[in-house]
Structures are given as structure tokens and as C-alpha cells.
Amino acid sequence: METALWHPFSDMAAVREGEFVVERGEDVWVHDTDGNRYLDATASLWYVNVGHGRAEIAEAAADQMRKLAGYSIFGDFTNEPARALAARIAGLAPMPDAKVFFTTGGGEAIDSAVKIARRYHDAQGESSRVHVISRVNSYHGTNGIGTGVAGIEANRSGFGEILPSSSRVPFDSVDALRAEILRVGPEKVAAFLFEPVIGAGGVLLPPEGYVRDVIEVCHEYGVLVIADAVICGFGRLGTWFGVERWDAVPDLITFAKGVTSGYLPLGGVVAHGRVAEPFWSRAGNPLRHGSTYSGHPACCAAGLVNIDLLERDGLVERGRTMEGVLESALRPLESHELVAEVRAGIGLLGAVELSPDLLRRLPSAVADLQVLVRQRGVLLRPLGKALAVSPPLTIQAEQLEEIGDAFAAGLDELA
């Protein structure tokens, strides 16, 4: 039966008659409705960090729903899980006196962070600071601002100009960022937005020193730094927010995905105490921004238990201790004639980019390889010219090897 479901980012002309229905999962495994089992090498969309089937999270969310369907946190209202999760996240954040603003996902977190940055400058008497600089190849969700700043060109095109006051710099150059701030005029630049490791743009690792250097340059010109940790957070890079790997202290951090391991939708922004200060200490200066489900109690209850599990099972550290194992599983693929490059080595994420020759000869090679590897029981994610791996943080060494083997067999079949 033809589907009525409009899949995001998907070619419905191709998908309409052939969907892949995932039914259930446990730990690193998921099962389809035909009874096949797959190794979930991408943790869905980079987010099932604690693995599938964690009853503790489901029970906490259900208990919360039984107790209170939901209650807004507008004005002086709040609910216990939202308060507790904000305190927990603030305590884990790498900036002093952190404050936490909740959203329902990562895209909304990006729009919130940029609006906070602009309003911060406005409150400081610098209302001309509205320009946002992001990076080529970056992905920051598909809400208004996230679309406007998108570094993946295709995600911006066809919608008209959404954020005229924005520009992009090469993803690996600190000098290019400085030059762009000077070209626009520092007095007009609100924020620089970056992913510590670019995810959807192809798993692009930062050059040595990059993360600390961009923060230094931005601060030299009064530009706020927003670190987008939607993928990089909650253990993916072996730390809570990704940036700690470089001892970096941004002004704002966006998070989502791993905060609940996707059991319920939740995201948010962590603000440095200095950025929150004009809103927290000046009466009559509210941030006129937010949405119905900010601080939803069931989502926050799921987040609290998810963080408990990440801590109890040492999964944040695992994001780091297993990175070498993942790299060893993928690196040999670099010698395959159809592979241009393997990118891995920071955290539990990696990508294998196919050769330009293959992509010229067979434009559908990435999608074809995804299917061939799926037929071998491993789920990968297509990313432009590459396929990505970002498994649950519970993954075992032999399962990472299995991913590498399935990749290699799929490549051999494609050759």
C-alpha cells in the first residue's frame, strides 16, 4: 500500500512504494517488520547513545505522564523534571554559572541560540550585531535560522533568502574567519556558529588547534561563539558537550539528540553566565522567545534517567576509549579502490567517502552501498559522497569490526 507519510529529506518519488519499517530494538540492534535483525551502526540519526530498549527511560517518562501530563515553564511556573534537568546540565557544562533554555529539538535550539546572541548584544547596546557566520559543510537543522545559515548548500537552496545577515567561511580556516569578521565589520557580527566535529556535512574533523583558536579570534572582536553540540554532545566525542576535548569554553552550546538518547524529543541551549546576565539581573528584560513544550516534564524525566545511564555505565568515557577501535575498523577501507578517504579518530563517529571516479561512473553509489551493507545486516547513513557510522556508545569491539567487514563486503560487491 502506498504510504501517506512524507519522509523528511527524502525523494518521495522513490520512497513512496518501498519503505523500510523498523519495529523494535535492543541495545545496538534493531529489527524490521519482516523479522530481520540489523546492527544499528548510526544509532538512528546519531542519537540513541545509550542503546535501544532501555526500560528505565520508558518507565520514568510513563511515570511522569501519569503524574502530570505536562506543564508549561512560562513565567514563574515550572515542573520538577525541568528544574532538575536544567540543574544537572548546568552542572555538567564547561562554562561558569551556566543557564539552560529548553527546546523540543536541535533545530529549535539553533534558532534559540542565535536569537539569544542577538538579544544579548541588543541588551548591551550593540543592536547592529546581527550577522551570523557559520561554516561551509555545516548542518544546523532546518528551522528558519538553521536553514538560513546552512553550510550544506543544497539545504539552503530553493527557499529564497531566509537570513540575509549571514555568511559562511571554509570549515578549516581560522584566518578565513578573522577575515570574514573584518569584512562584515566586527560591530555587525553577532555570532559564529560551529560544530566541533561537522556531522551531517560528512564527519569533518577540526584541524589541530582550530576549536580554541576560533573562540579566541571571536572574543577578540566581541563575537559570541555558539558550539553546536547536537551531535557531538552526551558522549559522542567522549565528553558531555564535545568542546571539552579542546578545553574550550564557548558562550552558548546547543544540544539535543543524546540528551534523551532520542527516547523523547528534547533539545536546548546552555548559556554562559555572562551571556545570561542581562536577562537574569535586569528587570523588564525578558527573552521573548520559547515554545509550548519548552521544559516538557516527560521529556525532561527521560533526559534525567538517560544521563543517569550515561554516568552509571561509563558511556561518556566510552565515546573516547572506543574511538581508536572504530578507527581501526574503518581505516583499512581506505586502501579499497572505491574509497577516497576514511575520516575517524575523534569520538564514536566516522565516515567513509567514496572515490570521485566511482561517483562519476555511478552517481547512485552511496545509496547503492547503503543497501548492499544493509543486506549484510548493518545500517549506515548516507551523507553526500560518504556513508557515516555513529553507533550507540554501548557498542562492542567485535561489533565495530562487523561494521568494517560489512562495509568492505559491500564495496567489493559494488566494484
Indicate which single residue of 191, 230, 372, 373 sits in contact with ligand PLP (rule: CB under 6 A).
230
Can residue 263 be called a binding residue for ligand PLP (CB under 6 A)?
Answer: no
Cα angle: 37, vertex 43, 46; to 5 degrees: 155
Can residue 225 be called a binding residue for ligand PLP (CB under 6 A)?
Answer: no
Indicate which single residue of 51, 94, 107, 295 sits in contact with ligand PLP (rule: CB under 6 A).
107
* Residue 348 near residue 236 (C-beta atoms within 8 A): yes
Can residue 105 be called a binding residue for ligand PLP (CB under 6 A)?
Answer: yes
Q: Which of 294, 249, 292, 289 is nearest to 116 (CA)?
A: 289
Indicate which single residue of 111, 213, 228, 251 sits in contact with ligand PLP (rule: CB under 6 A).
228
Tell how far CA 70 is from the center of its chain.
26
Comparing every residue's Cβ against ligand PLP, the nearest one is 106
At its nearest, how many Å lie between ligand PLP and the CB of residue 289? Answer: 16
Which range touches ligand PLP (CB under 6 A), out of 106-114, 300-308, 342-350, 396-404?
106-114
Can residue 141 be called a binding residue for ligand PLP (CB under 6 A)?
Answer: yes
* Residue 303 near residue 85 (C-beta atoms within 8 A): yes
Indicate which single residue of 40, 195, 213, 402 sits in contact with ligand PLP (rule: CB under 6 A).
195
Indicate which single residue of 25, 151, 199, 268 sits in contact with ligand PLP (rule: CB under 6 A).
199
Nearer to ligand PLP, 199 or 235 (CB): 199
* 322-328 contacts at long range (C-beta below 8 A, 24 or more positions apart): 322/348, 322/393, 322/395, 322/397, 322/400, 323/238, 323/347, 323/348, 325/397, 325/400, 326/350, 326/389, 326/391, 326/400
Indicate which single residue of 82, 200, 248, 393 sits in contact with ligand PLP (rule: CB under 6 A).
200
Three cell numbers, residue 189: 557580527
Residue 62: how many CB atoms within 10 A of its CB?
A: 14
Nearer to ligand PLP, 254 or 394 (CB): 254
Can residue 139 be called a binding residue for ligand PLP (CB under 6 A)?
Answer: yes
Residue 187: how many CB atoms within 10 A of its CB?
A: 12
Which range touches ligand PLP (CB under 6 A), out of 29-37, 139-147, 175-183, 326-334?
139-147
Nearer to ligand PLP, 64 or 155 (CB): 155
Nearer to ligand PLP, 113 or 372 (CB): 113
Residue 26: how many CB atoms within 10 A of its CB?
A: 12
Q: Which of 106, 65, 64 is nearest to 84 (CA)?
A: 64
Q: Which of 272, 269, 245 is nearest to 111 (CA)?
A: 269
Can residue 385 be called a binding residue for ligand PLP (CB under 6 A)?
Answer: no
Can residue 140 be called a binding residue for ligand PLP (CB under 6 A)?
Answer: yes
At its nearest, how many Å lie between ligand PLP and the CB of residue 112? Answer: 11
Nearer to ligand PLP, 121 or 140 (CB): 140
Can residue 203 be called a binding residue for ligand PLP (CB under 6 A)?
Answer: no
Please give the sequence-ordered ranges of beta strands (E in DSSP) within 184-247, or none if there are none.
Answer: 189-194, 224-228
Three cell numbers, residue 397: 569491539
Residue 177's H or E segment, with its range, is: helix 174-184
Indicate which single residue of 25, 81, 106, 206 sits in contact with ligand PLP (rule: CB under 6 A).
106
Strand 347-354 to 29-32 pairing = unpaired
Which range touches ligand PLP (CB under 6 A), out of 93-101, 137-145, 233-241, 315-323?
137-145
Q: Which of 205, 376, 239 is nearest to 316 (CA)?
A: 239
Residue ranges in contact with ligand PLP by CB under 6 A: 45, 105-107, 110, 139-141, 195, 199-200, 228, 230-231, 256, 267
